[in-house]
Each structure stands twice: as structure tokens, then as C-alpha cells.
Amino acid sequence: MTDAPKPGFDTLQVHAGSAPDPATGARQTPIYQTTAFVFRDADHAAALFNLQEVGYIYSRLTNPTVAVLQERVATLEGGVGAVCCSSGHAAQIMALFPLMQPGKNIVASTRLYGGTVTQFSQTIKRFGWSAKFVDFDDLDAVKAAIDDDTRAVFCEAIANPGGYITDLDAISAISDDAGIPLIVDNTSATPYLCRPIEHGATLVVHSTTKYLTGNGTVTGGVVVDSGKFDWAANDKFPSLSKPEPAYHGLVFAETFGPMAFTFHGIAVGLRDLGMTMNPQAAHYTLMGIETLSLRMDRHVENAQRVAAWLETDPRVEYVTYAGLPSSPYYDRIAKICPKGAGALFTFAVKGGYEACVKLVDALELFSHVANLGDTRSLIIHSASTTHRQLSPEQQKAAGASPNVVRVSIGIEDADDLIADLDQALSKATG
Ligand SMILES: Cc1ncc(COP(=O)(O)O)c(C=O)c1O
């Protein structure tokens, strides 16, 4: 044991979970492009299947490349374990799966990515689950929405599309009182800007498709477990605290303690739902994570400059960036995301829906895509795309009214981004 100081974030984003490949010495994490792994003998196979020994069986469950990414994200988030999935949406289902049963509900913020609103308001109903949406700035409403059948509280740290900042300390105090887990989608903030577990989150989910990969190459997701929730404190979470019939009666909380959720996620969740991340995707995401802090600093610096410029422009009605002193969320930055308010926000264009559509078409450097968290600057008119399935009331509550566009500010030269917005705003409102 050395008394060396704990490595910092920049060191961990490069090294956590990885080591030179023991077979070849390869310094970069190899892509273990294999479906299955040879057992040493029959006893070894039995021990792996009984979860008495940790190792590799089949890549739907575990894969060495994916395992490095799992450990890296768990470390950066300050969790005890993580399970990678095929997409951010898959991660959300994987987070809820061990907690939910037919008839149970979640309490979710109205300010979420539009696809998540649809997943929670429509698709999960097919499993007999439901969601109650409330304004997470109204703490009394959050408290009142929790009932005996609530099994989780769900929000985004920096909420898509408006870049609103959730008071995670206040929300986790409510979920703690109710004895239910808080799940935080940390996609837009990343563990560099916000560490939800330090603010009381039980589980953190990510669309790794976004900033963690950072270059718009692969879809992926991850669920990180804080290891802090006592699943056996009551009877609400039988998959974790009682004999699990889907794994020959194993009691995950008893056998794995703080790792219960992670082991359940792999042994039951990935085994039976199969929403597995492939090793190629894990490789691209590992490459991206190595530069996460450098990129996020630049994303934030650029977002700050572009938002400040937009706010003073007469063609713009308002800008939602929390990094602006005019934002009602400005005071939360120091507490929730001290390294900056991210790079995702909306602005309202004078001229409404028509002007927004023209603006999107007139931009040359910004790409018009349904994505965020790329090195490139991206723009989308949420009301006609990502939030299209939502009612006008839901769009308004989510901050995606027809007169606003959402931008994800990239790492290019801020002057070039401002010049592009300037010429496009002239065309859109001219
Ligand atoms: C905040 C947030 N969470 C989750 C998702 C879903 O992620 P994925 O597209 O990887 O399924 C998205 C996608 O845009 C998102 O923006």
C-alpha cells in the first residue's frame, strides 16, 4: 500500500479500469471481438454460472472491452459498479427493471429528453409500469406525487433541452425520506461537470452516445450504481432483497451487498433483456472518455460565449443557458455543477416556428441533427422533431415550445459559431 494521493479526474479518465493487455502487452484496450470465452474445465464453467467466480462466459453478459468501460465510468461517477447497455434508452429500462413490477410507478421530472418522456408516458405502460410527471422545481409536488407504489424518482442533472439544473440535493432528500432510489440521467452534464452520487443519487444513467463518446460515432448507455441503497430495508424491491426466481432463488442483496444491483443487471438484466453494448462501441467510447475533461471545458467556454452573444441580440427573445446570470438556475451552478453549466440550451427566435425552421436551414457550420454532445455544434428545432410526439402542454413544460431551437455547442472556435448564427438569424428573421 502506498500513501499516494487519490488520482484526479484527468488521470482516471485515461487510466481507470485499464491496464496493458496481459496476453500481448497492448497498451490501448483491445477490442475483444468474440462472442464466447473458453472455460478452463467443467468446474470453472459451473462456478461462473453460479456467480461464485467472476469471469467471462458470453458477450451478451460480459466482455473484457466493455468491462473496462464499465469500471471507468463507475470510477468517474464515484459508484461501485456499472452495466453498459446498447443505448441510453436501454440503460433507462435496465435501471428500472430490477425495481419495478406491474402496478408500480416512477415519479419523473417534466423536464426530460422528449424520447424519455415518450418512453415513460407510453412504452413502459406495456410492462404495467407508469410514470407521474411533475415539475421538479416544485418540491411539494414531488413529495405529493410519491405514493406506496412508487419505486423510483427520475430526473436529469442538466435537463434537456433547456439546460435547466435540477436541485439534486433537495430531490434526493425527498426520495431518501420516502425510502426509494433516485435515478439521475447525467448525460448532458457528464461526471466532469456533475457527480450526482455526491448529491444523493442512487443510480446514474447515461446515454454514452453523447459527451462520453463525444464524437458522434456510436450509441450506448450505462447504469452506474452508487452501492449506497439498502435494497433490503423494506419489501419494495423483491428482485434484489428476496430470492430471485429468475436466478434460481439467489438473494442478490445478501450475496453481493453493495454490488447487488450491478450483479443483477448483468446476471438477469443483460441475460434476459439482451440490451448489450458491443465491444466496438465500448472501444470508441473509451477513446472518447480519455479527453472528456478537456472537451467539456471547451464546450462550457464556448457555450458561455455563444449564449451571452445571443442574449444581447435583438432577433432573439430569450436564452435558457443556466450559465447566464439572468437564468433562474444560475445560483445552482456552484452547488450542482461547479465546473460549468454544460453546453446545451435553447433560445427563442423572434418570428416563432417559421423563423426557427428557416434558421435551422440557413446555418452552415452547425449541423441539423437529432443528437447532442458531439465535438461539432449541433442544432435542432425540438417541437418539430425530438419533442414532436408531445402535446403542446408537454412541450411547454419540457422547454421545447415551437418558437425555440436547441443547440449543443461544440468545441470549434466560438467566433466562427457566432458568425454562423449571425448570418442565419439575418436570413431567418430578415
Ligand atoms: C438526456 C438524454 N438521455 C437519454 C437519451 C437517450 O439516449 P440514446 O439515444 O443513446 O438511447 C438521450 C438522447 O438524446 C438524451 O439526450
- State whether 212 and 67 are in the same domain: yes
Q: What is the pLDDT along the chain (430 residues), one digit of tens a residue?
A: 467 789 999 999 999 999 999 999 999 999 999 999 999 999 999 999 988 999 999 999 999 999 999 999 999 999 999 999 999 999 999 999 999 999 999 999 999 998 999 999 999 999 999 999 999 999 999 999 999 999 999 999 999 888 999 999 999 999 999 999 999 999 999 999 999 999 999 999 999 999 999 999 999 999 999 999 999 999 999 999 999 999 999 999 999 999 999 999 999 999 999 999 999 999 999 999 999 999 999 999 999 999 999 999 999 999 999 999 999 999 999 999 999 999 999 999 999 999 999 999 999 999 999 999 999 999 999 888 877 877 888 888 778 899 999 999 999 999 999 999 999 999 999 8
| Nearest C-alpha neighbor of 351 from the set 323, 372, 395, 381 | 381
Single out the residue in 243, 262, 288 at which a domain terminates. Answer: 288
| DSSP symbol at 60 | T
- CA distance linking residue 80 with residue 132, whole number of Å: 29
Residues in the chain: 430
Residue among 85, 160, 188, 222 whose CB has most ligand 1 atoms within 8 A, to mutate:
160
Nearest CA to ligand 1 atom 10: 88
Residue 19 — φ and ψ, nearest 5°?
A: -155, 160
How many angstroms is it from 371 CA to the middle of ligand 1? Answer: 8
Q: Give the residue whose CA is nearest to atom 16 of ligand 1.
A: 113
Q: Are residues 271 and 185 in the same domain?
A: yes
Ligand 1 pocket test target in 92, 119, 187 with most atoms within 8 Å of CB: 187
- Residues facing residue 381 across a β-bridge: none
Model-wide pTM > 0.85: yes
The one-letter amino acid at 360: V
Same domain (yes/no): 60, 202: yes
Q: Which of 264, 288, 312 lies at the terminal end of a domain, its last residue?
A: 288
The answer to whether residue 117 is domain-embedded is no
Burial 282-296 (b: 16+ CB within 10 A, else e): bbbbbebbbbbbebb
**Spacing, Cα 88 to ligand 1 middle (Å):** 5
Largest CA distance in the chain: 75
β strands within 201-259, DSSP E: 203-207, 221-225
| Cα–ligand 1 centroid distance for 290 (angstroms) | 21
E strands, 42-142, where?
81-85, 105-109, 130-134
Residues 394 and 347 in one domain: yes
User: Of 246, 263, 288, which marks where a domain is finished?
Assistant: 288
C-alpha 293/C-alpha 317 separation (Å) is 32
Q: Indicate if 307 and 353 belong to the same structural domain.
A: yes
Q: Which residues touch 1 (CB under 8 Å, ≥6 apart)?
A: none
- Indicate whether 245 and 328 sit together in one domain: no
Among the listed residues 126, 161, 145, the one whose alpha carbon sits nearest the alpha carbon of residue 401: 161
Residue 176 placed within a domain: no
Q: Kindly report the protein residue whose alpha carbon is nearest to atom 8 of ligand 1.
A: 88
Residue 214, domain member (yes or no) = yes
Asked whether residue 360 is domain-assigned, the answer is yes
**Residues 188, 238: one domain?**
yes
Do residues 270 and 310 both lie within one domain? no
Structural domain count of the chain: 2
Residue 417 falls inside a structural domain: yes
Contact between 187 and 73 (Cβ < 8 Å) = no
Ligand 1 atom closest to 370 (CA):
14
For position 153, what pLDDT does the model report? 99
Nearest residue (by CA) to ligand 1, atom 15, is 113
Q: Which atom of ligand 1 is nearest to the CA of 209?
A: 10
Beta carbons of 151 and 106 less than 8 angstroms apart: yes
Q: Pick from 71, 56, 33: which is nearest to 289 by CA? A: 71
Q: What is the pLDDT at residue 2?
A: 61
Instruction: Based on the fold, state whether residues 330 and 424 are members of the same structural domain.
Output: yes
State which amino acid sits at residue 160: N
CATH number, domain of 385, equals 3.90.1150.10
H helices present in 242-291, as ranges: 252-256, 260-264, 271-273, 279-289
Which CATH number covers residue 187? 3.40.640.10
Instruction: Ligand 1 pocket test: pick from 113, 117, 120, 285 the residue with the most ligand atoms within 8 Å of its Cβ.
Output: 113
The residue whose grid cell reads 470465452 is 37
Name which residue sits closest to atom 9 of ligand 1, judged by CA.
88
Question: From the CA of 40, how far away is ligand 1's center (Å)?
Answer: 40
Q: Cα of 292 to ligand 1 centre, how many Å?
A: 18
Which structural domain, as residue segments, surrounds residue 389?
292-429
Cβ-Cβ contacts under 8 Å for 57 (sequence gap 6 or more): 36, 37, 45, 48, 49
**Ligand 1 pocket test, candidate residues 96, 165, 210, most atoms within 8 A of CB:** 210
| Helices and strands, counts by H and E, the chain | 18, 14
- Is 355 contained in some domain? yes
Residue 393 and residue 281 share a domain:
no
- Rounded to whole angstroms, the Cα distance separating 156 from 218 reads 21
- Distance (angstroms) between ligand 1 centre and the Cα of 370 equals 10
Question: Which H/E stretch holds residue 165?
Answer: strand 164-165
**Residue among 84, 116, 193, 207 to mutate when testing ligand 1 (max atoms within 8 A of CB):** 207
Can you give the pLDDT at residue 39? 96
Collapse the DSSP code of 225 into the 3-class scheme (helix H, G, I; strand E, B; otherwise coil) and give the result.
strand
For ligand 1, which residues put their CB under 6 angstroms from it? 87-89, 113, 115-116, 156, 160, 185, 187-188, 207, 209, 219, 221, 372
3-state secondary structure of 337: coil
CA of 160, closest atom in ligand 1: 1
pLDDT given at position 385: 86
Which ligand 1 atom sits closest to the C-alpha of 208?
10
Same domain? 276 vs 358: no
Q: What does the angle CA 98 – CA 89 – CA 129 come to, to the nearest 5 degrees?
A: 45
Ligand 1 centroid to 59 CA: how many Å? 24
- CA 246 to ligand 1 center in whole angstroms: 29
The residue nearest atom 6 of ligand 1, judged by CA position, is: 88
| Residues 342 and 299 sit within 8 Å (Cβ to Cβ) | yes
Å from CA of 51 to ligand 1 middle: 32
Instruction: Tell me what pLDDT residue 311 has.
Output: 98
Same domain as 252, residue 203: yes
Does residue 141 belong to any structural domain of this protein? no
Residue 135 neighbours by CB under 8 Å, 6+ apart = 109, 110, 111, 141, 397
118 is a domain residue = no
pLDDT at 304: 98
- Angle (nearest 5°) at CA 280 between 278 and 281: 70
Rama region for 150: left / alpha / beta (φ>0; ψ in -120 to 50; rest): beta
